[in-house]
Amino acid sequence: MRLSRHARATEGGMYLPGVCAWWGARPRRLARGGAAWSSAGMGARILVIGAGGGFGGAVAREFAARGEAVRCLLRNPSRLPALDGLEPFAADAQDRSALSRAAEGVEVVVHATSYPYPQWDPWMREATAKIVATCREAGALLVFPGNVYGFGPQTDRALAEDAPQEPTTRKGRLRAELEFMVQRACDDGRMRALVVRSGDFFGPGLRNSSVERVFGRAAAGRTMRLPGRLSAPHQWAYLPDLARLVADLVALGGALAPHQVVHFAGHVFIRQSDFLAQVAEAAGHPGLAARTIPWWALRLAALADPMARELLELDYLFDEAVILDDAERRRLLPGFRQAPLAEAIAATLASWRGGS
């Protein structure tokens, strides 16, 4: 695979199938065309389902910072920051009637809900089906975050937006199924969809095991630990950049296809260890050790830990790499620029030191 030592997102990509045209009243069938989207005079509203999570929270804050009214559906409203433009809506994504109420008057629905790996099937399938039905009912644009699982171990080249999905794992087959569900729902024009694919997330406020093992440990001066080969390529996406790109793409309105695919390359490294070294240096611990978590240790942990058991089938993502190219992003938003990597790393480390 031919990759620069550090390929920035302005040269690589993100995946988004489907975006919506914009209208005054909400017809049952969407117009095929549409001007660039604006909330001016339209009372535009955005619903983010799962706004308490990393992706959902970042997208909600980005739209609110642009002056949009954002309705935020989440089970625990206390997780929502007190920001102008964010309206909490306490509900569960599995509650179909609550989804319908939350989507009243909405033109954009962001599907940001997720579940722990062991609960993906059936909960992720069921939640996505209910969210899709809600979008068709409301005539809304669906923003759906995809990932690389559906591609399977296609590690010999950077993948364009039209690369075939060839899943080889249970989670990969489920993700491909969900994206196909979204695509089919757009066929009769009752909704449109924007599917966003990127590498692994990092950014301020994001908390998951991968980010903790890198940024949390580096901030504390502890050995960073990740599974797989640290000499393998890897792709990272800074969440504020990804959220900004989503908002920029949504603003294109009818310039996007009814089912638009765009990849976000973010930051691509020839070696995972190069990224870890930059994090360690920014944390004030140059030369901080980085160690691999051996697969035998995860197999042993999997005897009692369902999450470790689920992680094992994704070993190819850590021993090789599935890298996304972003030709569509370059075509649609050639002027998009992501934050400098040093700035992104510093902001993420600061959030761990500050406990936010």
pTM listed for this prediction: 0.87
The residues near 321 (Cβ < 8 Å, ≥ 6 apart) are: 1, 155, 232, 233, 234, 235
Inter-axis angle of helices 239-250 and 341-353, nearest 10: 120
- Tokens 């988004």 belong to residue: 16
Structural domains in the chain plus CATH codes: 6-202+236-270+323-339 (3.40.50.720)
The upper half-sphere exposure of residue 141, i.e. CA atoms within 13 Å in the direction of its Cβ, equals: 33
pLDDT truncated to tens, each residue of the chain (356 aa)?
A: 444 434 433 323 332 322 232 222 233 333 333 334 444 334 348 999 999 999 999 999 999 999 999 999 999 988 888 888 899 999 999 999 999 999 999 999 999 999 999 999 999 999 999 999 999 999 999 999 999 999 999 988 999 999 999 999 999 999 999 999 999 999 999 999 999 999 999 999 999 999 999 999 999 999 999 999 999 999 999 999 999 999 999 999 999 899 998 999 999 999 999 999 999 999 999 999 999 999 999 999 999 999 999 999 999 999 999 999 999 999 999 999 999 999 999 999 999 998 76
User: CA geometry: angle at 124 spanning 118 and 125, to 5°?
Assistant: 120
